[in-house]
Structure 1
Amino acid sequence: MEPKITAFLPLSLIFTIPAFAAVDYRIDLRSPAHHLARVEAEFPEVKSGEFTVNLPVWRTGKYEVLPLADGIRQFVAKDSAGKPLPVRRSASGEWKVAVSQPTSVTISYQLYADELGQRTRHIDASHAYLDASSVFVYSPEFRAEPVTVSLNVPDGWQSHSGMDSGTQAHTFVAPNYDVLVDSPIETGISHHRRFSSAGQDYELVVWGEGNYDLDKMVTDLTKLATSAGAIWDDAPFKRYVYMVHATSGASGATEHLNSTVIQLPRFMFRERKDYLRFIGTASHEFVHTWNVKAYRPTGLVPYDYQAENLSELLWIAEGSTSYFQNQLLARAGVISAKELLDDIATRIDKHQKLPGREIQSVAEASLGQWVGQGGDYAHNHSVNIYSEGYMASLALDLAILKDSNLKHSYRDVHRALYRDFAIPKSYGVADVKAILQQLTGKDYSPWWQAHIESPLALDFDELLSRAGLKLNYGGDSKGGSEANGNKESERKQKVAPGFSLVNGSLKLATVDRGGNAWEAGLGAGNELVAINGLKLSADGFEKRLADFKPGDSIKVSFFADDKLSETTLVLGALPDGKAELKPLAKVSREQKAFFKAWLGIDWPFDDKGGYKKA
């Protein structure tokens, strides 16, 4: 039987590793069944007075204030003689320790760690995932001092981190708290692979059982590493760790200084569409190793762990990372040209269907990221820094290629940011504009005002035609000499109700601003009951909708605040079929050259407009 958490010996007796850093962190993980641990942080000689200790209120990679200190109890401070020191809590993530005379100060506390999906801290019988921002307190006085982390773990566990290992097992060292807070630890029972590529060492650590293929993951991650040179001249790391969690449902990913954590449900690795999600995420986080970790916007340098860090350029930090992720995979041969172009088409299609794109600029979305919200209001009045940042990056890339006669691209902007504004420097809007002018000889201030500081309004027919492409929907007629080759009359159409439903229900999740359902008086939260007097069911809604065609008027019965109402809805239309990028009827040599300069791969289509066989 495992010992109770209350029976733990003092960690100073458990750990015998000599201190070789200014701040020593120790964590006991030997009773993981109830997600509990005991943490000690020993600070060297502290001056007399009030000593401030903090736990961050957010973690890097997620621009949102989180209740990280909620999992801390039994917070105690002691001096070098082991005598208790008075402690008062002054903020959600701050404690004040009264120190009467100079002494070392040891902080100890119980830690509860049962949060996996936010990628902060999780402890169970098989592993512990520890993001320092939610685990280890710090003092502003010692933030720049070197640190040691020592783990006391159950037998059979292995410990991994982007930090350097200490002299003994389950220990890590970092030059300061900022490196510690950006170097999570995965310890427990896991699969582990080492490999090298492009002059750097890599590790793959997978916790949890699932239908993943370790050999394929290593092969593709090895290829991915070779493509980074298309953007940056070197790597800001010598060793990089991919931490993968095969979970019971949690999903997501977070970039770190020289590592990443990627979470996917355990049986979402084998099918190609699922694997593309994994490898695309891995590429996204890999790109982040430069974009955000090696260079980032003013406002995020240095990090303020106790407050929001605002920047109007978060769209570059996230959206541009999304923009590059599949391009690197295609260059490396990990994904096909079709998979790359299908992804671009899907993103454009989703962008065009989002009412919020007409309201909010990507700069405003960046500043509002810390208070961003989802749901109907966001759908209709907002954009997010990932998808809209992707579109802004696409537009900027195609503009640079055109204005520089294919001599430069958006990759050169990021090459310059890494070269000239690596941390501890930072870059602002004026710096990006200056780089754009250097690359193209053109003042981009008007472009910036029209596309970044204003809601993004893009002519995709014109933009895509530069690379010999058009946006197509499955079932469109082929051919045509028009540059767009994609007239509304050529499309097969399907019924568009103008709203979306909450999964598995008849409750409206969003209603498109200005659309037919909006004008008919339907709103988010309304619950559908019947169409034309006949009862609806959640699983039969799509089939019922297929009984009508665009332009038909239907009577919709619904509940609003528990009151039964009825309205007439004129059904709208959307293109029927999957969004695709297809070649124009006639593609010039110049357009093919533009395509190659843009995506870094050869023209993939044959003379009949189909993809060439590999």
Structure 2
Amino acid sequence: MKFTFDIKSPQQQYIQITAEIKATGSETTLFFPAWRPGRYELGDFAKNVNHFQIHNGDGKSLEYKKENKNTWTVKTEGCQTFTVKYSYYATEMNAGSTFLDASQLYVNPVNCCVFTDEEYNDPITVQLNIPETWEIAHSLKVEDNSFTAKGYDELVDNPFICSSNLQKSSYEVEGTTFYVWFNGVVKPDWERLITDFTAFTKTQIKRFLKFPTDEYHFFFQILPYKTYHGVEHSKSTVITLGPSYAVFEELYKELLGVSSHELYHTWNVKSIRPIEMVPYNFKKENYTELGYIAEGVTTYMGDLMLFKSGVFTIEQYLKELDAQIQKHMDNFGRFNYSVAASSYDTWLDGYTPGAPGRKVSIYTEGCLLAFIVDIYLLKNTANKRGLDDVMRSLYYNFGSLGKGITEKDYQAAIENIAGVSMQWFFDDYVHGTKSYSTLLVDCFEYIGIAFENEPVKDEVAAYLGAKTLKTLEKTVIKALYPGGPLDVAGAMIEDEIVAINGMAIKNNVNRWAKFFRTDDKEITINRKGEIIQLHIPESHRPYYQRYFLRLIDAPDKNQIHAFDEWRDAALGERTVRNRNSSK
């Protein structure tokens, strides 16, 4: 199979794609990918296709029938090969998309390349017809604007950027060369970045003993507006980040966080993969309940590796973990739907807020469950082993062999190290909806960290149980605490609060709510044009709260020892710091 990419009128943002394909008899079935790895929902990329044509080797149109939204049956009797021509509308810019304008051609082939079952594993050649001044950032070898993939899986797992604005540097760890590419308006602080990237890369490789490939590429699309997104691949990652001026200032922490996260995916997901996704099936959904491993463990480990390598201080790391705990505590879907069920349902509504209180995040819940497993293993092995050992065993016993894992494999790896059954954990917390709070408090206390809470500063959220969106003109309810004062009184999401005890609200709802905190209150709301009065009796109990972690002031020797082993005293070439120190 051969693909040719042309960009005749980049301002129109249509990429002209030609695919030359072998015919397989009287009929050949042609497919367009329905989704992409790293985003476990239907992408339906065929919706971006225009000017779809199919011809034989002589340029004569072939008869074809569209069987469903991403499948065509082509009449190929008497044909050795046939050609598919189409234009792909490339306007979306994120870490897993395809984009074209006058400055660049950025392609994730899984968005825009057709395939057949018969040629799926055959070599694929790609020709790029691009301006002479453009450089190509790619993890495959490119010569004369052409490259070859071993098969369709390798093709779609290797995105590329063609642009005249590319900047590049590199570093080496344990025989693997890591390339860092920036595209866009950006002024890289190369010395700082290479130092920090080298540190967390060494720490991750140390956990797995080796890196899966001999080279790896970080592709950064730096944008002038606010964005944050990353997508993993076997030999690369694409990361979008912006605005440009903040990347090496206030967003540098995010740059490190997403980069460490995506690098860890090289082992976890690209190698250690749910059995339902070995191999990937790009024709339809690939349902699995293991999103809490694929994304949750990676979320936990990505930030933890920054701390273990000395790139993050303990204070910086705990702030990241604070954010996960806050998301967990503020999502009342945790009482209704398990993380395993939510993983299965990413294909339904996993990346949208969805119905309030219906589901949980595989990233957040999986992160906290990974932390609990890590500490539980420490407890049961005299602080000698942890989740690192579990993931390393899964890599060598499954991932490196191309074998997918099941939940039973993950559970067995944990139990093999812990020496006890973990069935309760999977029943109550992975597949159940039992509160994590007690487990979290116990785990943090074990390593000398206090898990605390206080009312949020927002008065309406803290004492009336409603999160609001405030503008100069309106204060609108966006979330309600189940059983909180406004919920019980009959408030609804999207209600506008217009008065409290007869006092008009003009972007000062928190001041009036605090003024009347100890009184009975009459809340006036505007519900789609209808004015409604809600009565709320006096209440002093806080509802929405801020949850945060801090180091215990005077930990005992057992807590200090556990903390040191959790952190891992062997930090590579970084200086070991006291647990209370700052970087």
TM-score, length of structure 2 as denominator length: 0.91
- Find 1:236's aligned residue among 206, 212, 217: 212
Name the aligned partner's letter for residue 449 of structure 2. Answer: L
Which residue pairs with 1:264 in the alignment?
241
Which residue pairs with 1:437 in the alignment?
415
Give the match's secondary structure for 2:212. coil
Contact 1:469 1:581 in 2 (8 A): yes
Counting only pairs closer than 5 Å after superposition, residues 177-256 of structure 1 correspond to structure 2 as 177-198=152-173, 199-210=175-186, 212-249=188-225, 250-256=227-233
Which residue pairs with 1:404 in the alignment?
381
Name the aligned partner's letter for residue 297 of structure 1. Answer: P
Give the match's secondary structure for 1:344. helix
Higher mean C-alpha deviation, range 30-39 or range 503-512: 503-512
Give the match's secondary structure for 2:244. coil
Which residue pairs with 1:9 in the alignment?
none
Counting only pairs closer than 5 Å after superposition, residues 295-334 of structure 1 correspond to structure 2 as 295-334=272-311
Counting only pairs closer than 5 Å after superposition, residues 327-366 of structure 1 correspond to structure 2 as 327-366=304-343
Higher mean C-alpha deviation, range 405-414 or range 316-325: 405-414
Higher mean C-alpha deviation, range 221-230 or range 390-399: 221-230
Counting only pairs closer than 5 Å after superposition, residues 545-556 of structure 1 correspond to structure 2 as 545-549=513-517, 552-556=519-523
Cα 1:444–1:565, aligned 2, differ >3 Å: closer, same or farther? same
Give the match's secondary structure for 2:208. coil
Give the match's secondary structure for 1:106. strand
The 1-side partners of 2:10 and 2:102 are apart by 5
**Structure 1: segments with no counterpart, 5+ residues:** 1-22, 477-487
Q: Does 1:455 align with 2:433?
A: yes
After superposition, give the CA deviation of every residue in 1:202-245 in whole Å (9 maximum; x if it has no partner): 22222221465344333322222111134212111111111111
Q: Does 1:581 align with 2:549?
A: yes
Q: Does 1:469 align with 2:410?
A: no
- Find 1:424's aligned residue among 388, 402, 410: 402
- Find 2:138's aligned residue among 138, 153, 161: 161
Contact 2:95 2:239 in 1 (8 A): no
Give the match's secondary structure for 1:142. coil
Deviation at 1:558, TM superposition (A): 1.0
The 2-side partners of 1:585 and 1:229 are apart by 33
Q: Does 1:515 align with 2:477?
A: no
Q: Does 1:384 align with 2:353?
A: no
The 2-side partners of 1:526 and 1:325 are apart by 39
Name the aligned partner's letter for residue 451 of structure 2. Answer: L
**Structure 2: segments with no counterpart, 5+ residues:** none
The 1-side partners of 2:406 and 2:421 are apart by 16
Give the match's secondary structure for 1:74. strand
The 2-side partners of 1:440 and 1:82 are apart by 65
Contact 2:447 2:560 in 1 (8 A): yes
The 2-side partners of 1:253 and 1:31 are apart by 29
Give the match's secondary structure for 1:416. helix
Q: Percent identity?
A: 25
Cα 1:324–1:613, aligned 2, differ >3 Å: closer, same or farther? closer
Contact 2:33 2:283 in 1 (8 A): yes
Q: Does 1:560 align with 2:527?
A: yes
The 2-side partners of 1:86 and 1:260 are apart by 40
Higher mean C-alpha deviation, range 368-377 or range 239-248: 368-377
The 1-side partners of 2:544 and 2:187 are apart by 34
After superposition, give the CA deviation of every residue in 1:355-403 in whole Å (9 maximum; x if it has no partner): 2212221111111111125777644232110001111111111111112
Deviation at 1:158, TM superposition (A): 1.0
The 2-side partners of 1:202 and 1:585 are apart by 40
The 1-side partners of 2:540 and 2:207 are apart by 43
Deviation at 1:344, TM superposition (A): 1.7
After superposition, give the CA deviation of every residue in 1:564-591 in whole Å (9 maximum; x if it has no partner): 1011235665599965432335422221
Cα 1:67–1:375, aligned 2, differ >3 Å: closer, same or farther? closer
Contact 1:211 1:269 in 2 (8 A): no
Which residue pairs with 1:35 in the alignment?
13
Which residue pairs with 1:482 in the alignment?
none
Give the match's secondary structure for 1:25. strand
- Find 2:150's aligned residue among 156, 169, 175: 175
- Find 2:90's aligned residue among 106, 113, 130: 113
Deviation at 1:272, TM superposition (A): 5.1
Deviation at 1:518, TM superposition (A): 1.3
Cα 1:24–1:178, aligned 2, differ >3 Å: closer, same or farther? same
Contact 1:73 1:109 in 2 (8 A): yes
Contact 1:35 1:123 in 2 (8 A): yes
Cα 1:613–1:84, aligned 2, differ >3 Å: closer, same or farther? closer
The 2-side partners of 1:546 and 1:599 are apart by 43
Name the aligned partner's letter for residue 99 of structure 1. Answer: T
Deviation at 1:523, TM superposition (A): 1.4
Give the match's secondary structure for 2:362. coil
Cα 1:142–1:455, aligned 2, differ >3 Å: closer, same or farther? same
Counting only pairs closer than 5 Å after superposition, residues 370-381 of structure 1 correspond to structure 2 as 370-372=347-349, 378-381=355-358
Contact 1:164 1:174 in 2 (8 A): no
The 2-side partners of 1:251 and 1:466 are apart by 34
The 1-side partners of 2:351 and 2:18 are apart by 38
The 1-side partners of 2:480 and 2:187 are apart by 38
- Find 1:125's aligned residue among 88, 99, 102: 102
The 1-side partners of 2:256 and 2:283 are apart by 33
Cα 1:529–1:283, aligned 2, differ >3 Å: closer, same or farther? same
Deviation at 1:546, TM superposition (A): 4.4
Contact 1:472 1:581 in 2 (8 A): yes
Which residue pairs with 1:282 in the alignment?
259
The 2-side partners of 1:575 and 1:586 are apart by 30
Which residue pairs with 2:117 in the alignment?
140
Cα 1:243–1:344, aligned 2, differ >3 Å: closer, same or farther? same
Contact 1:506 1:529 in 2 (8 A): yes
Higher mean C-alpha deviation, range 395-404 or range 116-125: 116-125
Deviation at 1:548, TM superposition (A): 4.8
The 1-side partners of 2:95 and 2:480 are apart by 29
Contact 2:350 2:361 in 1 (8 A): no
Contact 1:40 1:109 in 2 (8 A): yes
Cα 1:349–1:548, aligned 2, differ >3 Å: closer, same or farther? farther
RMSD of aligned C-alpha atoms? Answer: 2.5
Which residue pairs with 2:495 in the alignment?
526
Name the aligned partner's letter for residue 447 of structure 1. Answer: F
Deviation at 1:450, TM superposition (A): 1.6
- Find 2:346's aligned residue among 365, 369, 372: 369
Give the match's secondary structure for 1:137. coil
